[in-house]
Structure formats: structure tokens, C-alpha cells
Amino acid sequence: MIGFDSVSATQYILEPEFEKHRQNWSYESQMSSQPSTKSAADDAVKLRLIKRSQPIPSECFPSIAWIFLTKPHVFDGRLAGGDILVCQQDSSQQRVPVSASVPQLSQNDILRLRRILVPKNHRRFSGVYEECRLQLHELSIFTERSADDQGSNLEPVVRGPFKFVLRFDDNDKCVSLSTSSDPCPRLTTKLFDRIERWAHGVVRQDKQIQVASLGLVSVERYSRIYWDLKLKYGPELIKIWPEKTDPLKFVFEDLAIASYLIALWDPEDDGRKTSFVDIGCGNGLLVYILILEGHMGLGIDVRKRRIWSLYPPKVSNFLREEPVTPQSRFDAEWWIGNHSDELTPWIPLLASMSSSTAKVFLLPCCPYGLYGKYQRTKPDLSQYQSYLMHLKEDFLPKCGFKVRIDKIRIPSTKRICMVLSERLDEPRDQVIARLRHRLEKEKPVTDFVPRAKEIPVRNCTQTDRSLTDRIVHRVAIHLLTLPDKEQSEGFNLGGQLSLAEVIALVNKRERSLLKSQCGGIQTLLKNNYHVFQVKNGAVRLKIPEEQKPNAQRSVHQRRACWFDSNHPQGCPLEQAKCRFSHRDKFNT
């Protein structure tokens, strides 16, 4: 019996798709009403053994094979992924839903699939169809023709016909790879490295939320959108980026999120447009992309960013500098929470109270409750995973939403998203009453304080300069009184202190002033990197570094050199080579 989750997180096999691709099936035993036990290695195509793995537990093979089927992009950098178009049981030819969970296979079960390999660059490569057969101890894949029906000159992303078989041997507990022709050596190496890593991961059986990426959208649709948006907006946005943040990260991250949302909102590419509100929109880049792609939207943030003024009026006119409060209401089909921190729980709550049809896209990051930091309730999970479980199993259902989970491909460790496009079968009045009761129970609504407009700098750089200078001098002089075990060309660097010993040199009032800046002793020492070296919990003086030849010396030399002013031997560097100002120049 083949078992699947009753609710599939990645089910997108539709009847028209099934009928469309059914005629292309070319398996030997497709017409048979009985399960076939014929091995792929016994087919007419001659296969030869390429490599064998180290021994792995037998129960790991179905999981490894399933990952191979659903994540082909991990082996080939040219691939964006694969879309499974058809999935059916061999014996009954009955369609089964494709799930992120591994199917439970018995000895005689055969699962037949048809998938398309999706290239990242659809302007250079065409997709390729593959026929797949999964059994308890064997996976066979036959690469067919290009998916390009237009007769263009696009190169197939994988050249066929090509057949390979992964088989688990019950005797020696190894996985073998057999192919019809020589595979790419890089593919073979990466495959067997992954097999051993995946085997350990399957045995561990984490309790964390685990989900394959791009499970709720077509990989092919997403890939095409992302590639087009990247070429359309990426270079110009990086060129004009006025913020202090890294444009390579933020530009391409928001391009990926925009691509995902467009693929989610318009899966069939029929030109469907929607309305949205991005709560805590930050730089407004996501709003900019979505509006220019034809969607009607609004961006809300408590603080205006410099880049807002660079957007065209059709975008900047829809970016609002205002706080979000419990009374905020917006008439939008989709509410977006993109790394919105303390607003994350408020977005689904306010969406539910605003409209019975509002939908929500959440990309949680820092864990917050309605009135402060989220307190972890599952000690066996990380803070992030515990927060995701809290949202999925408790908070979001109580807001009236069914929760679907997916993973976006962005350069971030926090990339699990939640799509709330369906409501639970519950009267809306009942949901609103429950939410109002929760607000009153946790804390009076009138006490809600949104994020401050001005974000204070709290890294010890705003601390009173006389205080920091006193502490720096005190610690440095104390280090000089200790024996120097590592003299550098006769220059005395003193000894070494642990952080605990350094803290003991600072009185309670001074420590309190430093902590008010969200810093502390270690932050202060690292800010004075030209004086101290902090490594593995130990502190010592640092050998002064020479000025880089092409550096702007005037920027550094506004500050006096601590060694020149305070060290008994002065600074070991000449003024021309020192990054900081010496007394003879400083006093003129």
C-alpha cells in the first residue's frame, strides 16, 4: 500500500495535466493490470555499474530516492528544480497526490511519475521530460526529449535519451548507480556525497518543520518569472541603491519573493492581477516590483527610507510613512508580512478583522508575540522553529486561517513562509470575538506601542566618549602590567585577560551605562579594534596595523593613536604608515 499525507503541501497535479501527459507514457508494463517486478536493469537499454555507496540503513533509501525526485537542482547548477506532472500507482493507474512527505512503499508497490526538469535560464535552455519509476529499493529515471515544442534553437538542459538506475542492495546495504552512458563525474561525486549525508539526516528524524522549496507554486513558472525580473530590474536597482545595506542581498531577495508571489497569485499566467498591502515594507522594493508588474498595492512603514524618493510617482505615492496600530484596517486581497518582526502576529490578526476574504503571506523572522518577544515553549526546538510551530498550530488557526507552509529560495536562513489563502469553516463573528478576547486578555489595546520612528543606535558608539576612553585606557594599562609572553620585535604588548577579568575592572555604574546601549564590555573592546584583540574569550593588546596604500588616510587620522599617546614605547609605526594621528601632527 502506498501511503501519503491526507493533506498535501505540494499538490498541484490537476486532471487536465494528467490527461495531457498520459499519452506520452512509455513504460514497458504500463498496460498491465498487475504490478511489475521487472528491474530497470533488465530493460532493453544496456546499463553498466558506475559506482557504489558506503553502507546505509535500508529504511533510508525511499527517502533518498524521493529527495532525488523532488530536488534535482541539488545535483546540477543549471536546474531550477523539477515539476512532477503525473504521479500514479502502477497496479491501478490511480492518480495520487504528490506530497513533501516520503511515500510509504511496500515490497510490491511501484510508483510511476512524469516530471519536467526546469532550467534556471529559460532563454538558453529548454526543459526536459523524464519518466520515473520508484520502488521500495529501486529508482529508475529515463530522460526523454526536450520540452520545447516551439522548434527553437534552445539547448536541452539535460541531453537524452539517457537512463540511470539507483538500486539498494539488501545484502551489502549499499546504493549502486547504473547508467546507459557515462554520466558527468561531478554529478556522480555530488550524488554519492549527498546519499551519505541524506542517510544520516533520515536516521536523525528531526522534529523541526521541514519542507521542500517551492512546493506551492510551479517551479517552471517561478523560474521563468525570477529570471525575467532579475534581468529587468536587478542591474538598475543595484546601480542606484542608496541604503547602507548590501544591495546584492536585498535586491535579489525581494526579486525572489516578488517572483514567488506572482507565481502564487497568477499560476496559469493568464494576466490575473491582485491588490495587496505590504505591512512593514521597509525599503519598499517589494512594493516597487509588484506595482510595476501590474498589481495594485500599498506599502506601510513607520519610517521612510531614502530609496523611496527614487521610485517613480506610481510607486512612491503608494508608500506611506505611518505606524500600524490595532485599529489599522486595509481593503486588500493579500496582506504581506516580509520579515516584519514585531508586526508578524498583528498582520494575520488585522487581516482577519478587516475582511472575511483577506489572504495573508507571512515570511516570519524574529519571533514576536502581540506584546513583546515570543517565549519559546518547545525546548527541544530552536527559537525559530518553536515560533513557526506556535504560528502554525496555535496562533494562525485562531485567527481563522488554514495554514500552508512552503520554503522560498532566498539568501536567508529564515525562508520558511506561510500562505493563508483559505479560511477555517467557522463563523467570522466567532473568530473576531475570540481575537478581541485575546487582545484584552494579553494586554489592553490602548497600551500597544508600535515601533519607534527613529531607531536608536545601540552598539556602544553613542556612549559618552569620556567613559569609553577611561575604560579603554584602564584595561590597556592593566594589560601592560602583565608579563608579555609574545613580544613582537621588542615591542611590549603586555599580557592577556579573560573577559571576566576585564569586566571586573569596570564598576557597576559603568557596566550599566554600557548595557543601556545594547552592548557591553566585549562590544566596547571590539569597537576599539585598533587597540585590542578579542579572540576565544581572551583580550590582549593588538600590534598596530599599517595604513593600506590606497586607503583614505584623512578619515582614520582624525582620531589620535592610542599607542602614540599612552604606550611607554610609543607607536611602533611611523606617522606616514599609521592609520591614526600621532601627537606631532595632532597638536598642530
Same-domain check for residues 265 and 398: yes
Residue 2 within a domain: no
Domain count across the chain: 4
Residue 46 CB partners (closer than 8 Å, separation 6+): 180
Alpha-carbon Rg for the chain, nearest whole angstrom, is 30
> Does some domain include residue 209?
no
On whether the pTM is more than 0.75, the answer is no
Identity (one letter) of the amino acid at 92? Answer: S
d(CA 237, CA 360): 27
pLDDT at 92: 63
Shared domain for 230 and 360, answered yes or no, is yes
* Phi-psi map region of 78: left, alpha, beta (phi>0 left; psi -120 to 50 alpha): alpha
Q: Judge whether 210 lies within some domain.
A: no
Together in a domain, 385 and 351: yes
pLDDT of res. 44: 52
Three-state DSSP at 1 gives coil
| Shared-domain flag, residues 28 and 110 | yes
Write the CB contacts of 358 (distance below 8 Å, at least 6 apart in sequence).
332, 333, 334, 335, 351, 352
Q: Which residue among 447, 467, 491 closes a domain?
A: 447
Which of 526, 542, 558 represents a domain boundary (last residue)?
A: 542
Return the CATH number at 67.
3.30.530
Shared-domain flag, residues 276 and 290: yes
- Structure confidence at residue 291 (pLDDT): 98
- Are residues 548 and 535 located together in one domain of the fold? no
User: Do 502 and 366 fall into the same domain?
Assistant: no
Tell whether 32 is covered by a domain: yes
Residue 305 domain flag: yes
Does 224 reside within a domain? yes
Tell me: do 92 and 19 sit in the same domain: yes
Q: Kindly give, in sequence order, each residue whose CB lies less than 8 Å from that of residue 368, ignoring residues fewer than 6 positions away.
A: 341, 342, 343, 344, 345, 374
Decide if 487 is inside a domain: yes
DSSP 117-138: EEES-TTTEE-EEEEEEEETTE
362: left (phi over 0), alpha (psi -120 to 50) or beta: beta
| 517 touches 460 (CB < 8 A) | yes
pLDDT tens, position by position, 77-108: 889 988 888 888 776 666 666 665 566 777 88
Shared domain check, 529 and 555? no
CB 519 within 8 A of CB 512: no
Q: Quick one: which of 313, 296, 305, 213 has its CA closest to 256?
A: 213
Of the candidates 447, 474, 508, which is a domain's last residue?
447
- Determine the pLDDT at residue 363: 97
User: Which residue type is seen at 342?
Assistant: E
Same domain? 387 vs 436 = yes
Q: Residue 112 belongs to what domain range?
A: 15-204
Same domain, 441 and 472: no
Residue 42 lies in a domain: yes
pLDDT under 70 in the chain at which residues?
Answer: 1-45, 91-103, 147-152, 183, 186, 200-209, 443-464, 485-489, 516-519, 549-558, 584-588
Same domain, 291 and 404: yes
